[in-house]
Amino acid sequence: MIAGDVSATSVSFSASDAAYAKYATLAEQCKAGNVRAIARLITGLENEERAAYAALNRFVGNGAVAQVIGITGPPGAGKSTLVDKLVARFREGGRRVGVLAVDPSSPFSGGAILGDRLRMQRHATDPGVYIRSLASRGALGGVSRATGAAVQVLEAAGYDIIFVETVGVGQSEIDIVKIADCVVLVSVPGLGDEIQILKAGIMEIGDIFVVNKADRDGADRVVREIRGMLETQYELSKGEKLEAVPDTLAGRLVAAAGEMEHHADVHAFDDKIPPVVKTVAETGYGVAELADAIADFFAKASESGSVTDRRIARARVQIKDLVAEHILERIENGPGATALNEMAKRVVAHKTDYYSASMLLLHEILLQEGAGGNDEGVKT
């Protein structure tokens, strides 16, 4: 499987492969900041072309590191308008900014109206800004399946700051934690009482909390309630080992996905309760404070090394997911399909049991890989 025919990191694609070659060229152009190449590579990723994913190996050793900021919250909370203002703010500092804005696909037609960038169009002619709309394409966690890979593309293309705006979320779409270094949770007044804030899920993943539309009635109450929630959390976690309170903040959701062990303390508050910032995105009120809070987060996190640790935790999850995906693919499409059929018949005929059959099948697939089987070529 790890064939080493393109580089040590290449996976079962040879350099002569036409599809890989096409995307590898695009990847090289991405590194030079070619906008069309960036756009096309992301499309390949969205279309789940394996060659596009394989071509991401061109970014290895590139050294570019971006700060990835997730912006999430309910529909209509003002996420896009806030991103627009933040982009302007970070551009003042001369940083190159990428935006990935996810909107939902229709479960019926598969089509989508991608309207986030409507609020950001003043940046369309700024060469230091790249904005890409992504349709969720059936993914239910608030981002699309290609979003994480698209972040890698923008990072390699030299964008210093990458905003990932999720679809408007409800209570449990939290896949943004698998992508972002820093999650900004945008809330607005009038969504419900204190109990909503106490509930599990979305309210647990914020590194920074924003109460947008703060010129509306009830904004201060929402701020108080969020602070109350966070302070309680902080008190609970103080003096105890954080492992004992496995129910706060971004990375701990990754932990819940089965990966943390020694990373448990990484997602502590860095001795600080997450800030709650009041904004009125429309007028720009509070945006400077929010940008400062983001900068502050990264300053502290890089000091403590927690961003790297979070990234390692996320990478583990992602590698694991991919391994599972590869194995399943080999069972469904590769020579494993025949073996699977055989095993199924044997189970039904009481010649073996499910568990033994699964182990045998796994063994068989791994053996085939070991024999250097790049047997299914490129599917696009």
Which residues make up the interface to another protein (CB under 8 A)?
A: 35-36, 38-40, 42-43, 46-48, 105-106, 109-115, 117-118, 121, 124-125, 130-133, 135, 137
Nearer to another protein, 320 or 379 (CB): 379
Nearer to another protein, 121 or 356 (CB): 121
Q: How far is the CB of 319 from another protein (least distance, A)?
A: 22
Q: How far is the CB of 46 from another protein (least distance, A)?
A: 8
Residue among 160, 30, 50, 103 at smallest CA distance from 40: 30
- Which residues, at least 6 apart from 27, have a Cβ–Cβ distance to it below 8 Å? 37, 41, 55, 56, 58, 59, 153, 156
Residue among 19, 45, 28, 32 at smallest CA distance from 132: 45
Nearer to another protein, 132 or 267 (CB): 132
SS3 label, residue 42 = helix
Cα separation, 236 vs 238, whole angstroms:
6
Q: How far is the CB of 324 from another protein (least distance, A)?
A: 18
Nearer to another protein, 95 or 221 (CB): 95
- Which residues, at least 6 apart from 257, have a Cβ–Cβ distance to it below 8 Å? 317
Nearer to another protein, 368 or 380 (CB): 380
Inter-residue contact 209 to 187 (CB < 8 Å): yes
User: Quick one: residue 238, left, alpha or beta (phi over 0 = left, psi -120 to 50 = alpha)?
Assistant: beta
Q: How far is the CB of 100 from another protein (least distance, A)?
A: 11
Instruction: State the helix-helix crossing angle for 306-332 and 354-370, rounded to 10 degrees.
Output: 100
Nearer to another protein, 4 or 107 (CB): 107
The 8-class DSSP code of residue 111 comes to -
Q: How many other CB atoms are found less than 10 A from the CB of residue 229?
A: 19
Cα 329 to Cα 52, 326, 369: the distances in Å are 17, 5, 13
The 8-class DSSP code of residue 10 comes to -
Nearer to another protein, 72 or 105 (CB): 105
Q: How far is the CB of 35 from another protein (least distance, A)?
A: 5
Q: How far is the CB of 354 from another protein (least distance, A)?
A: 31
The alpha carbon dihedral of 28, 30, 36, 37 has a sign of positive
Q: How far is the CB of 184 from another protein (least distance, A)?
A: 23
Structure tokens at 5: 């025919």
Structure tokens at 78: 């003002």
Q: How far is the CB of 177 from another protein (least distance, A)?
A: 24
SS3 label, residue 6 = coil
Nearer to another protein, 17 or 46 (CB): 46
